[in-house]
Structure 1
C-alpha cells in the first residue's frame, strides 16, 4: 500500500534530494511539499531539474492536512525543526534531517548550538538515525534524528574499531573534506564562486565543529569512557561529497578485517580490498559508502579513508532508508541506484 509523504522544507538542497529519491520510490507518494518563503510556487520554478515530475505546489506548513500523511520528512534548519515538530500531531512518524534531535543531552545541545532546546521531551524520544547501528530502534520509532553528514562519515570508520578495541582511543586524528552543498542553499559570501573556486580552506578548526558533539556522544557510549578525537573539516570547491581520512594507531590488517566483517552484510557500505582507497566520484549521487584501509610506513599505524555523498547517504538517502524501516518497507527500496559518473 502506497504511503503518503510530506516534505517540510522542500526548497532546500536536502528537500530537493528527497524529492529526487522519492520520485522513483515504488511505495512512497509525495502528497505535500512546504516552503514558507516560496509558498504558492511550483517546485519546477524552484528546482527546474524536477520539472518532469507531477508534484504538488509548495505551501505553508499550516496548510498541510497531516491526517492524510503517513510520514513527514523535516528538512528545516536547526532550531526551526524542534518548534515545528513539537506542533505536529503526536502520532505522526517524522524523520528530522536537522541537528535538533541528534544529541540526547539537552546540555550538550546548548553547548554545541548555543541555545536551549525547545522540545526536550521529544529530544528524549528521538532515535539516532545512523541506520546500520540503530536499525532495530529505528524500525519501531516515531521520531528519528538524522545524523550530521560529517558525523556519519567518521562513524562508519570508527564505530566498529572502537567496539573491537583495536585502536588507541587517545590517538585518533580525522581530516575531512566536504563539498559546498553541505553548507546549505542560503546565500553566503564565502560560498560565492569567485570566493570558493580554485582553493580550499579548513573551517571550524580547533575542535569547534558542531558534529563533534555527535562524535563525543556516540564514541564515548561505545567505549564506556570519554573519547575525544581530533577533527578538522575542509571545504572543497565541489558540489557534493565527503572524504574522511582517519590516522589511527593499530594494526592495519586487523583494522581491515574488523571493518570487512562488520559491513559484510550491509547493502550500502562497501569495504575495499586492502591497500585500495576510494574517491568521492565513486559514490556521487548514491546511498553508498566506500571505505579503504592502507598501512602506514610506520609500523603499527594505519590510514582509513571513507567517502559518501553528503546530500544522499549523509542526509536525504539516509532519511529515506530510515523511513523505509519505520514504514515496514524493505530498507533498500528506492535507494539502489548506481552512483553518477563522471
Structure 2
C-alpha cells in the first residue's frame, strides 16, 4: 500500500463492511464492493499510477483527488481493473476547469455526469453501444458511470454540496458507448482524435428525452421531431444557451445516410430548427415583460451546430432517438474529451 493516504478499517466480513459503508454515508444508496487493499492495488497497477499521484482538483471545495481515491471508489462501484483507465480518464475530464464540475454537482438543477466512450476500448472491455443503451445489463457501463459518481461523492465533496431539487437516475450511473461505423464520423474524431484512439467525453446532463418517430421516411421528418424536443422552453438550453447531446438510433441513422446526409449537415439542420420565438419567454411566464427587439428574434437550443454532440447508438429495432439537454450555460460548463490510457496525469 505504498504512498496511500486513506485510513484503513478492519471489519470481520463483507456483510459487515457493506453495512458499515451505508452507516458512514459512503455509498450512493446501493451496496458497494468492499475496497480491500489487494483490489485497490490491482486498479492502480492497471493504470501504472502510485496512490498519491494527483488526478485533479476542485478548487471551489479545496479538494484534491488522487489516483488512490479513484481506485478505491472504482472498486466500490464494482469495476474490474480493466475499466480503471476509462474511470481515470473520465475523472481527469470532469476535473478539467472547462467542465466546471462544482457547478453541475452543486446546483439545484440536478445534472448528472454523462460519460461517452469512443474507440477500441469499447470492444476491449465490453461496453454496450447497442440495445438498452442507457439502461441496465452492462457491467462495464453501469460500474464505470457509478465509479465517477462515487469519486465525486466521497472524494470530491459532492455529498456535502449537492443541492439538487429533483435529480434523475443518471446520478447513479450514466455511461454509454458510441456505436461507431465507417460511414459516420464518431464523436471523438470530431473532437480532434484519431479513430484508433480511445477517449471519454464528459457532459453535464439532464435526463434523456426519448423521441419517437416510426413514420418519417426522410431526414427532414426525423430531424424536425428531434429539433422540436430540443426546443422545450423548460430547459437550460432554451433559457441560458448550453450544449446538447443527441443520440441517433440505428434505424434513424440508416435513413439519414441513405439520403446522403453527413454529420455536419445533420447538426446544421438541428441547429436551424431547434428554436423558438423569443416572445415565447414572455408568453410562458419566463420573462416579466417583452423587451425591445424581441419581436422577430429567435432563441436557439444551442449556441452553434458545434454545440450539438451527435452520437450514434441504441438497439437495431425501434425508431427511437433521444436528446439530452445540458446544464447551465457554455460559460459555466462545456463537454470535455480526454484520451484513455495516456500518460501525463497532473
The TM-score, its normalising length taken from structure 2, stands at 0.33
Q: TM-score, normalised by structure 1?
A: 0.34
Larger Rg belongs to: 2
Greater RCO between the two (CA within 8 Å, min separation 6)? 2
